[in-house]
Amino acid sequence: MDKATTYDDALGDLFAKNAETSPHNAYTDRPAMLKLAGDVSGARILDVGCGAGHYAAELSARGAQVVGVEGSATLLRHARARLNGDAELLLHDLEEPLDFAADASFDGVVCALVFHHVRNRARLLDELRRVLRPGGWLLISVTHPTADWHHFGGSYFSHDWSDLAVADGKFSIHYQRMPLETFLGELLAAGFVLEKLIEPRPTAGLREIDEARYDKLHRAPSFLAVKLQRP
């Protein structure tokens, strides 16, 4: 991944802190993805773009053997502190082949809110299919295309690389917009079978601390999440 899409330095520190308790990460995407994963006890799982290790920590606590890969040295430092040796964590550019992993060596793959940052998504999907065992599952979440359309305007069908301002404009997150047909089309073209698609809403816990944000995220989708199977 190029520098523009990697959460390094101060942006990485900010993301690691916000992901701990933010309405979008802690109360919306992460609970939805973990629910899609289901029972992971004894499973070997690859966490692609593991960020600050929040998903890996949850999966490990539920009995999974986790290997996390991350392109940001800053985020990987946070992940190592959070996991404290409970997962294997590797610095790896997702634009490159997953040459550290053998064929059919994982039962599941989690790719949370990173897919839209990758330029060579076709190669990444080919690699994920290669390292998954037959019958293994792939979880992917992305920014919801209608949320992007609402925020950036223009055409819903835009494939523009865009910059989303965060922290009152101090930083920006660089990623590619894509309509639903592109997102699903790429996954199906890579040979995966769609099992379930959801538009995550925040859990009830958010209502207790921020009722306005809870109501807003129940009216307009922020993320899209899918579970697929490798035949």
CA distance 68 to 52: 10
**Which single residue is written with the structure tokens 């992460």?**
30
Q: Do residues 82 and 47 lie in contact, with contact meaning Cβ atoms separated by under 8 Å?
A: no
Residue of 173 and 194 predicted with greater confidence = 194
Q: What is the pLDDT of residue 186?
A: 98
- All domains of the chain in start order, with CATH: 3-144+182-229 (3.40.50.150)
Task: Enter the pTM of the model.
Answer: 0.94
Residue 4 is predicted with a pLDDT of 54
* Bridge partners, 109 (sequence order): 46, 138
Do residues 123 and 131 lie in contact, with contact meaning Cβ atoms separated by under 8 Å? no
Give the model's confidence band at 16: pLDDT under 50 very low, under 70 low, under 90 confident, else very high. Answer: confident
Dist. CA 166–CA 148, nearest whole Å: 14
Q: Give residue 5's pLDDT band: very low, low, confident or very high (50, 70, 90).
A: low
Q: What would the pLDDT profile of 38-70 be if each residue is shown by its tens digit?
A: 999 999 999 999 999 999 999 999 999 999 999
Per residue in 68-115, pLDDT (tens digit) is: 999 999 999 999 999 999 999 999 999 999 999 999 999 999 999 999
Nearest to 11 by CA among 43, 47, 41, 52: 52
User: Is the pLDDT at 3 greater than 70, yes or no?
Assistant: no
Of 22 and 5, which is predicted with more confidence? Answer: 22
pLDDT digits (tens, 9 = 90+) for 187-229: 999 999 999 999 999 999 999 999 999 999 999 999 999 999 9
Distances 69 to 89, 106, 110 between C-alpha atoms, Å = 6, 14, 11
Stretch 120-141: mean pLDDT: 98
Q: Which pLDDT score is estimated for 7? A: 79
Distance CA 174, CA 156 (A): 18
